[in-house]
Structure 1
Amino acid sequence: MIRFIFVVIFLILFLILTIPVFFIEWIIGKFNRQARDMSSLRIVQWAFKVILKMTGVSATVIGEENIPDEPVLFIGNHRSFFDILLTYSRCRRLTGYVAKKEMEHIPLLSTWMKYLYCLFLDRENMKEGLKTILQAIEYVKKGISICIFPEGTRNKGEELSMLPFKDGALKIAEKSGCAIIPMSLNNTAAIFENQFPRIKKVHVVIEYGKPIYPKELDKETRKHLGRHCQELIQETINRNASLV
């Protein structure tokens, strides 16, 4: 329970104490947008790394060399709030995450998210959801990577289970021509969700698969791209279960 308290206190203090930083970042952005983007990225990554340090979580990371130095679409299985911290803290390039619409109403946190090109997906409104996907495609074309969890929500089922992937998420790669990087995460729910509200010191495994370029796939595989990617991730989380 003590870890949970420390994390909450740190997060609140970070959001409050960085209010002046928003103004500084805004000024930097007026002169050099790229410098603002990268400084915002590093500030938030630092905060995430501090939180992960507080949790005592250790991670085995496999295949990070598979990520090309270009904008990509990260996709992965999703079982924990900590999936975002674990993966975002490792991003080398500017990366916007697709989050649920409700997070747009969280003061200060949503401001940082917007600074970092995060998008808010309305899962109940197909028209608005399409706008979000189109915006993500534009971001990729501008050199910004996107991360989305195609299950559509956090999976609360058994450890190695996955919810069906929503094919709309893969349109970001199909329409922009970028690579898809499958991310497989093992044991992340054991950090927090499995014993809410306690945070537990555990070992997790993150594996980045080889890039998938939709245009290079055969017609039948492209037709079922979501299922293809899900099968790859499922195979990986099954294989890595023994490493936890």
Structure 2
Amino acid sequence: MFFYLCGYLLYSLPSLAKAKKLHAENNAKNDEKIQVVPKKWAAGFLKHSGCTLEVSGLENIPDGPVLFVGNHEGDFDVPVLMAGIPKPFGFISKIEVKKIPIVAGWMEMMNCVFLDRSDRRAAIQSIRDGIKKLKNGHSVLIFPEGTRNRGKELGEFKAGSLRLAKDSKVPIVPFMIQGSADMFENNQNRIKPGTVKLVILPAISAEYYEEAGMEQVANQIKAAINEERDQHVKGA
């Protein structure tokens, strides 16, 4: 996996240069072209790690920009989402990732937003940047728990994280991931082959969440994900 990761990053450098030219046009229509290489990397990463990905509910993803919101089990969530969701999107990511060569460059091309939770002013600006990207037609993904739950009980779904949707008035698309932590974090941080399930839940319209309020919507999303997790546990 180490050689695959390093080799692919070096291999991607010419494509990164082309992606930068497309990104400079600031046109959301280019997102799909820009993310061809990252999505191929994600699919290859899952294949080499022995991950069997089961995806359902893709029909729930509407056209146009959306805010993807879901649970965060572990590090495998990123390639799982990139490989499993055909719509291009950027992540709200911790600021530390920005220090990784080449990876940070690709994330910028994908319209990711780097969040520094230790600096309130910078964090507010990052949220504003995310809102701007949504308004410009780019989809964004956020983990409202703010940290990995390792497949255990879900953490608090912070309603403030949904401000991205509220201020840009885009649909919220919830998702449920199950099994990714068992492939790494729950195996003493060693890669273990397994099955990961990704379920895309019905989208929540701007009209609904503006009437219901973000606190209620955050609780509803968490409850829907918990219910989906329970169903898959029973069906396993």
What is the 5 A alignment of 1:220-231?
220-231=212-223
**3-state SS of paired residue (1:130):** helix
Which residue does the alignment assign to 1:212? 204
Consecutive aligned runs of 4 or more in structure 1 exceeding 6 Å deviation: none
Paired AA for residue 140 in structure 1: L
Instruction: Name the stretch that deviates more: 234-243 or 104-113.
Output: 234-243
Superposed CA RMSD? 2.1
Change (3 A) 1:111 1:207: same
- TM-score scaled to structure 2, two decimals? 0.91
Which residue does the alignment assign to 2:41? 47
Change (3 A) 1:28 1:64: closer
Which residue does the alignment assign to 1:242? 234
Structure 1 gap segments, 5+ residues each: 1-6
Q: Does 1:37 align with 2:37?
A: no
Which residue does the alignment assign to 1:57? 51
Q: Which residue among 70, 74, 80 is the counterpart of 2:68? A: 74
Instruction: Name the stretch that deviates more: 86-95 or 133-142.
Output: 86-95
**3-state SS of paired residue (2:35):** helix
Which residue does the alignment assign to 2:102? 108
Q: Which residue among 124, 129, 133 is the counterpart of 1:139? A: 133
Structure 2 gap segments, 5+ residues each: none
Paired AA for residue 237 in structure 1: R
1:37 Cα deviation from its structure 2 partner: 3.5
**3-state SS of paired residue (1:89):** helix
Change (3 A) 1:115 1:32: closer
1:77 Cα deviation from its structure 2 partner: 0.5
What is the 5 A alignment of 1:62-211?
62-156=56-150, 159-211=151-203
Identity %: 29
- TM-score scaled to structure 1, two decimals? 0.88
Change (3 A) 1:70 1:34: closer
Change (3 A) 1:73 1:197: same
Which residue does the alignment assign to 1:26? 20
